[in-house]
Amino acid sequence: MSSSVVLLAIESSCDETSAAVLHNGKILSNIIATQAIHEQFGGVVPELASRAHQQNIIPVVSEALRVANIHKKELNAIAYTQGPGLLGALLVGSSFAKALALGLGLPLLGVHHMQAHILAHFIEEPFPPFPFLCLTVSGGHTQIVLVEDYLKMKIIGETLDDAAGEAFDKAAKMLQLPYPGGPLIDKYAQTGDAQKFKFNKPEIPQLNFSFSGLKTSILYFLQDQTRKNEHFIKENLADICASIQQTIVDVLLQKLKKAADMYKISHIALAGGVAANSGLRKGLETLAVQKQWHTYIPDFQYCTDNAAMIAIAAYYQYQQKQFVELTQQPLPRWEM
Ligand code: KG4
Ligand code: ZN
């Protein structure tokens, strides 16, 4: 490996267009353009995401290079999110990365989006020591991962249906809150009574999760209550949000506890957009005191989708010379 490595990384798997520049493991810039277009549809519309990526990608990459004060001729490799994600969205980032790599005569690094969420822990210290467990909770995924080394990870539990972020967003939609509703549930929950309403908690074997039953339970509960009082949601919003949040957090932490006991690991990390949830953070803190865990949560900008995490993952792949060919296709359903 050469002594100095400068990488440009591009993330375009869902509804954030992002570019980052890294120098020797240090992030010099991390530019993120969030696509507001999806708000009015209550969820990400894949075709609109692709179009927005096409509009955003050149300005986002230019800005990342400008902020980093790096000229494209100083780059050593180009990294991009190879999957998993929306095919059309991935295609924009991968085509752009390939064209740039070809034009500049640089090697190409295809990064796994979920591995990158976990490797975001190596952007800023303290770094978790190996092995550690990572609960990755985002709009698309819910996984407990055994992380043995930078590029050696094993999923030991995952959702059988909806992701945790999706459960938050779908519950928010039922409460007529705009997309993405996860952060709003968190906000209203702050002043609510989490014990006020009870929802069915799924009983799923091993370390797996399921959130579709909870969604149905919330829906029936709201239908039932609004039949009796049409202002029920408005009058009880904080308590409903707090109760929903508590239920989701309990489910996540119960499995995390089980995993830590099973694998006898006390270094526990959170990753993904739902790691921003204050109920989850508080719950993890309390559990950590009880169980004597060391916990790790990346800075918020590195929890939600961003290219800095793609850059840091690419940095480790670069050291292992794990390059991809220009013929490599995006992999929307890439297994970890
Ligand atoms: O990791 P991320 O940015 O994108 C995916 O890869 O999916 O995660 C986005 C998800 C959304 O479902 C959003 O509602 C949720 O993270 N989220 C939250 C909070 N902040 C973001 N959910 C609950 N509480 C929050 N504070
Ligand atoms: Zn993500």
Give the Å distance between the CA of 182 and the centre of ligand 1: 6
Residue 273 Cα to ligand 1 middle (Å): 4
| Distance in Å, CA 74 to ligand 2 centroid | 28
CB of 162 closer than 6 angstroms to any ligand 1 atom: no
Residue nearest atom 3 of ligand 1, based on CA coordinates:
304
Residue 3 is predicted with a pLDDT of 73
* β-pair partners for 316: none
Contacts of 209 (CB under 8 A, 6+ apart): 142, 157, 158, 159, 160, 164, 202, 251, 252, 255
pLDDT of 36 reads 86
pLDDT on residue 43: 82
CA-only gyration radius of the chain, Å:
20
Per-residue tens of pLDDT for the chain, all 336 residues: 457 999 999 999 998 999 999 999 999 999 999 888 888 887 888 989 999 999 999 999 999 999 999 999 999 999 999 999 999 999 999 999 999 999 999 999 999 999 999 999 999 999 999 999 999 999 989 999 999 999 999 999 999 999 999 999 999 999 999 989 999 999 999 999 999 999 988 889 999 999 999 999 999 999 999 999 999 999 999 999 999 999 999 999 999 999 999 999 999 999 999 999 999 999 999 999 999 999 999 999 999 999 999 999 999 999 999 999 999 999 999 999
Question: Which ligand 1 atom is the nearest neighbour of the CA of 181?
Answer: 14
State in Å: Cα 221 to ligand 2 middle.
30
Query: What ligand 1 atom has the least distance to the C-alpha of 187?
Result: 26
Atom of ligand 1 nearest to the CA of 113: 6
> 298 CB under 6 A from ligand 1?
no
Look at the block and give the residue holding tokens 């009983």: 203
pTM for the whole structure? 0.95
Helix axes 278-291, 182-189, angle to 10 degrees: 70
Q: Output the pLDDT for position 1.
A: 46
| CA distance linking residue 173 with residue 182, whole number of Å | 10
How many CA atoms within 13 Å lie on the side-chain side of 11?
A: 32
Q: Which domains does the chain have, with CATH numbers?
A: 6-118+303-319 (3.30.420.40), 128-297 (3.30.420.40)
